[in-house]
Structure 1
Amino acid sequence: MNENKAPKRFVYIDDKPDPSVAESLGQENVGVFLFPDDLTDRMEELIATIRDCSVVIVDLKLADHDSDDPSSPSILYPKDGLALKEILASVLTERVSHLDSGTDTSAVDVEPKTTAFMLYSGELDLLGGGAPAKGREHVIAKRIRAEWVMVKLPQSRPESQKDLRVLEDLADAVEAVVGITWLDASEREDILNTIAGLLALDEATEWASVAKRQIFEGRPPLQSLAEQDGVALLRWLLHLVLPYPSFLVDAAEVALLCRLQLGWGVEQLSELDSPISKLFHESSYGGILSHFLGPRWWRAGVLATLRRECGGSLQEVERLNNTLDSLYGSAVPRLHIATPVRTVDEDFRLTATAVDVEDAVRLEAEEWPPELPPPWFPLSRLADNPRVRRYVLERDIDRVRSYLSAKSDGSR
């Protein structure tokens, strides 16, 4: 490989490369390798390029490898992108394998992980366990031990390039975390401060200490960070933080906390100059991966703003609504539900729908972060979703039986 060449931020491996990848991320930023030919003809260059890049993009379905060369049996070639990802990852995490007897392995230098892997395919549903991949990318990525997965859209779809451009945010995040020597942060507080810095938490805010506590309660991967795996922090954010109502919340969750109709709240918070966006501007998240899955807000900041606007009591949320009425010049659409909870669909994807807590049950979802309250599912949809009933928490089973019995009696 020519040492004068600038390192590529992305490596893309596919048997039929999608031109949208290089077009979206910049031809000069993407090293494109054809499978399987380049695994033989350009292997040394491929490995060198991967070692210097931030994100490796791999297709799921790869062409079969046929060779007449007996020294290159096809069984040694990966059959799909999952296998190829594991092979490449093993190259990047190579350790000293020939240690003398009695060597103190704790003194062996650990090669820090400096690359994120993303599976890029039009057939991600094959990995969804019977559920669609759309909206469950974080679940699939966690399952296959990748940082992320993305649906490969037809090249005729203009949004394909827009979606691909968020990978620049991922590359930026990789470059931010791998530049840190985590071993220097020996104390818990040091690591937490480093994480808070990457998340761009404003220490000057009155709610910063609460946000820090919530970060730690979210169980960041401290052990992996101590082993110099900075990319583990990105996996934590992508798999367990950003997709869920954690210490960071999305627009629908902000609307729920404000007791506003969720659809209206989402629409208004997407407009930077709207009164409600300005009201929660201090709480908006601007750290690593802030553009990857859409805007997020600090939960601690949102609640602090609510308390201020509600005179110190979250029970007085109507005071906030009255303030918004004044700012908008008309009545904002309120959420007329006594105790609203946000629901998930039958595939455990968060929705922008809220129901009263009396009209929902909690689910035991294996993929749901255990440190978060369990997700809610509408009682009204259980009759048509028998598969979901097996996941209802034990303490809610009687309510399900009563509801289904009453529904059956009412239909007679």
Structure 2
Amino acid sequence: MKETEARTFVPHPHELAVSTHHDDDFSDRLNESWDLILVDENFGEEPSSTPTVFDGSSLVGWLRAEARKSGRQLPCVAIFTTQPDLFQKEVPAVGPALPMGGSFVGREAYLAPVLDVEWLFSKNGDDKVRIVERIEALAQAHETARTVLGGNGASFQEFVSFLGLSEKATWHKAALSSLERARLPISESANGGNTFRGPASAVRWLVQETLPFPGAFLSDTRVAARLGVTVATLDRLVMDPSTQWSQDLKRCVYTGPVAALFGRRWWSAGIADATLSIRHAVRSGETETAQSAIKMLSGIETVAVLSEKDPVAFVDQELLEAGITGAARCVQLRPRGWPPQSEEPWMRIADAASAPWFRHMVDPSDQSLLDVASV
């Protein structure tokens, strides 16, 4: 890739350098302070009989080895390719121990740990503006981590600042408790000293272990299920908030580092607070139903509620969110690689019964539900 083409992905005023591993200045470039290394996967070279760098993945391995030898802290590293199905034979870090079998798009967080990178980008997507936004978000996250966390490791309070958690939020203490359970990569010690992966480890925790999974943060689908409304209604509730409740709900939207890499995320502590207000309105007799409570609290007349009893967000056979249904139609899974600090995903019974690898992710006490579905 020439610099002119690279500039279409990394626009001014960001500093940019394009180099190959054959260039004389390649090592010198690594000594400079960057926030993101985009590694093109396809070099157009073939593996030889002796160890060599011939594609982006092998270059990542070399970069990691060189960093270990020199004691250097690498910035975030991301694969950059026009062929998102190049890794279809790789076994992702999350889910069944089977080859990915297709594009990594939508499953970047599942594959990135296997390749020892923070993220992957498909540069031939339909929405180039979106690709540019996501690249910039990853670089800015590393820049923010360098500034907030410093060079002596990361403390809990520094992580709170890094994520942009407002002290003015009424659910601030609850959010702190959720972060305590989120297995932060805290590394600051009394004696100080640099950590090997440095600020990039904070970004990796966020993009691979936290934002992709339900726990400290929730997706639109999961928030809608908890509030008992459709996703379209959820949009309406925060589009032009006119009441204190709806304004507080809008403050639950996560706007911190790498937010642009994912669909909208919400602080789960804030959603729990909003849900509690709905229940309180019903229990206190102010309203009779959750629907009327939401109307009263939000000031919005048209509130479409979910028809499902005990609604839950469920995942498909790629462990990606697929919609909302009733809990009675689902079972919970314990997938390989799923972060233990995150809520276990729900899958429809018919899907869970469709393959043995899903069946063995289900608690033994629920196996009888799968047997009925298989008949």
TM-score band by shorter chain is 0.7 to 0.9
Aligned counterparts of 1:315 and 1:115: Cα–Cα separation in 2:
53
The structure 2 residue matched to 1:210, chosen from 142, 159, 174, is 174
Q: SS state of the match for residue 337, structure 1?
A: coil
Q: Do the aligned partners of 1:272 and 1:278 also contact (CA within 8 Å) in 2?
A: no
Q: SS state of the match for residue 43, structure 1?
A: coil
Where relative contact order (Cα < 8 A, 6+ residues apart) is larger, the structure is: 2
Alignment of 1:219-368 (within 5 A): 219-223=183-187, 227-228=194-195, 229-262=198-231, 264-265=232-233, 267-268=235-236, 272-273=239-240, 278-311=247-280, 321-325=291-295, 327=298, 330-351=301-322, 353-368=323-338
The structure 2 residue matched to 1:149, chosen from 115, 120, 136, is 120
- Pair member with larger Rg: 1
The structure 2 residue matched to 1:393, chosen from 342, 363, 366, is 363
Structure 1 residues 24 and 39: alpha-carbon distance in aligned structure 2, compared to 1, 3 A threshold: closer
Q: Deviations over 1:116-135 (max 9, x none)?
A: 00011233334242343221
Following superposition, the deviation at residue 356 of structure 1 comes to 1.8
Following superposition, the deviation at residue 298 of structure 1 comes to 1.1
Q: Do the aligned partners of 2:179 and 2:216 also contact (CA within 8 Å) in 1?
A: yes
Alignment of 1:118-129 (within 5 A): 118-128=78-88, 129=99
Partner of 1:44: 25
Q: Which runs of 5+ in 2 are unaligned?
A: 89-98
Q: Do the aligned partners of 2:216 and 2:268 also contact (CA within 8 Å) in 1?
A: yes
Moved segments of 4+, more than 6 Å: 312-318
Residue type of the alignment partner of 2:217: L
Aligned counterparts of 2:100 and 2:188: Cα–Cα separation in 1:
31
Residue type of the alignment partner of 2:85: D
Following superposition, the deviation at residue 391 of structure 1 comes to 3.2
Q: SS state of the match for residue 79, structure 1?
A: coil
Structure 1 residues 383 and 249: alpha-carbon distance in aligned structure 2, compared to 1, 3 A threshold: closer
Normalising by structure 1, we get a TM-score of 0.75
Aligned counterparts of 1:18 and 1:402: Cα–Cα separation in 2:
59
Following superposition, the deviation at residue 93 of structure 1 comes to 4.2
Following superposition, the deviation at residue 371 of structure 1 comes to 2.0
Following superposition, the deviation at residue 211 of structure 1 comes to 0.8
Percent of aligned pairs sharing the same letter = 19
Following superposition, the deviation at residue 170 of structure 1 comes to 1.2
Q: Do the aligned partners of 1:252 and 1:266 also contact (CA within 8 Å) in 2?
A: no
Structure 1 residues 131 and 64: alpha-carbon distance in aligned structure 2, compared to 1, 3 A threshold: closer
Alignment of 1:59-98 (within 5 A): 59-64=40-45, 75-95=50-70
Aligned counterparts of 1:201 and 1:55: Cα–Cα separation in 2:
24
Residue type of the alignment partner of 2:21: L
Q: Confirm whether residue 160 of structure 1 aligns to residue 128 of structure 2.
A: yes
Q: SS state of the match for residue 311, structure 1?
A: helix
Q: Confirm whether residue 136 of structure 1 aligns to residue 107 of structure 2.
A: yes
Q: Which runs of 5+ in 1 are unaligned?
A: 1-15, 67-72, 96-109, 186-190, 406-412
Partner of 2:93: none
Aligned counterparts of 2:335 and 2:288: Cα–Cα separation in 1:
34
Aligned counterparts of 1:314 and 1:153: Cα–Cα separation in 2:
53
Partner of 1:102: none
- Would you say how many aligned residue pairs link Structure 1 and Structure 2? 353
Normalising by structure 2, we get a TM-score of 0.82
